[in-house]
Amino acid sequence: MVEVSTFQLIKMGDLNHHGTLFVAKALEWLSETGFITACHAYEDPNELVYRGMDDFKFLKPADKGEILRFTGKIINVGTTSLTVSVKACSFADKDNSDPYCMGKITYVVIDKETRKKKAHNIPKEIMCEHK
């Protein structure tokens, strides 16, 4: 099973007009963790491309000074694609049970030369149970 965590400190420049984490910054960090997770399963980042994001939810505001843990898990493996579920929880939330935001990102593997989709041969055993 593949699971990757990244950590982000919310700073003044990450805030919106309400003084909480700006959704675009959360999406950036969510996407970054998703890509790192996908790269952990498929080791050539030059052949991974973003296909789309689904089910993004912002569940509660996060404040300046909060440290967030973004955890990515591969939840689906197709022939040429893989889907990563990413959620952000407080650094203090050890079991990731109370997320601030979450979403699913699908990546496709392409051939570097032809730019066409290609089989990635990632085994389904790397998938995690989606929570």
What's the pLDDT at 16?
97
Q: Give the three-class secondary structure for 92.
A: coil
pLDDT of 14 above 90: yes
Q: Does 62 reside within a domain?
A: yes
Half-sphere exposure of 66 (CA within 13 A, CB side): 21
Average pLDDT (74-92) is: 94
pLDDT on residue 130:
54
Instruction: Enter the tokens of residue 119.
Output: 């089989």
Residue 98 counted as domain residue: yes
pTM of the model as a whole: 0.90
131: which 2 tokens? 């929570």
Give percent of the chain above pLDDT 70: 98
Number of structural domains in the chain: 1
Q: Does residue 77 sit within a domain? A: yes
Q: Edge to edge, what strands does the sheet with 101-109 contain? A: 3-9, 67-77, 81-90, 101-109, 48-58
pLDDT over 90 percentage in the chain: 79
Which range marks the domain in which residue 40 is found? Answer: 3-126
Give the pLDDT mean for 55-70: 96
CATH of the domain at 81: 3.10.129.10
Tokens standing for residue 116: 């066409």
